[in-house]
Amino acid sequence: MIGELRAEWKELDTKIAALNTEFIQLARGDAAMRRLTSIPGIGVLNATALVAAVGDASSFTKARDLGAWLGLVPRQYSTGGKPRLLGISKRGNTYLRTLLIHGARAALPSLSTSDTPRAMAEGHDRARRTP
């Protein structure tokens, strides 16, 4: 019985490897997926899922609209002109949102703190101040 399970496991590993190869070939052949995979934290699987779910991103006027569609923006509750931002709304495609969050978490340690816009601005200000 253990031998049968081991054989089935190897067969599944082979199928997974074949599917990964197909995903890689698909991502190399599509310009949108190539652009997406150049972003840290977005791999072939994330790019494929994003293109499949969103399709043409021109239906979103700005990135925040896409984030709202995915459920990645804070919920807002307003009363008396005072807006209150709550946790993320968690609406939209749960699978895609999960993939993107895990990709972002995986990319965080590899990003240098000097590559952030704030660090670049501080470096620019420091360079301007020194004679």
Nearest to 106 by CA among 39, 26, 51, 58: 39
Q: Which residue has the higher pLDDT, 9 or 93?
A: 9
Q: Which residue has the higher pLDDT, 85 or 19?
A: 19
**Strand positions, DSSP E, the chain:** 74-79, 82-88
pLDDT tens, residue by residue, 32-48: 888 888 888 888 999 99
Nearest to 102 by CA among 64, 45, 55: 45
Beta bridge partners of 88: 74
Across the range 2-11, mean pLDDT stands at 94
Distance, in Å, from the CA atom of 44 to the CA atom of 126, rounded to the nearest integer, reads 39
Q: Is the pLDDT confidence value at 131 over 60?
A: no
Across the range 22-37, mean pLDDT stands at 88
The whole-number pLDDT of residue 120 equals 64
Q: Which helix (H) or strand (E) holds 50?
A: helix 44-54
Angle, CA 67 vertex, CA 63 and CA 71 arms, to 5°: 170
Q: Is the pLDDT confidence value at 9 over 90?
A: yes
Distance, in Å, from the CA atom of 36 to the CA atom of 33, rounded to the nearest integer, reads 5
The whole-number pLDDT of residue 115 equals 64
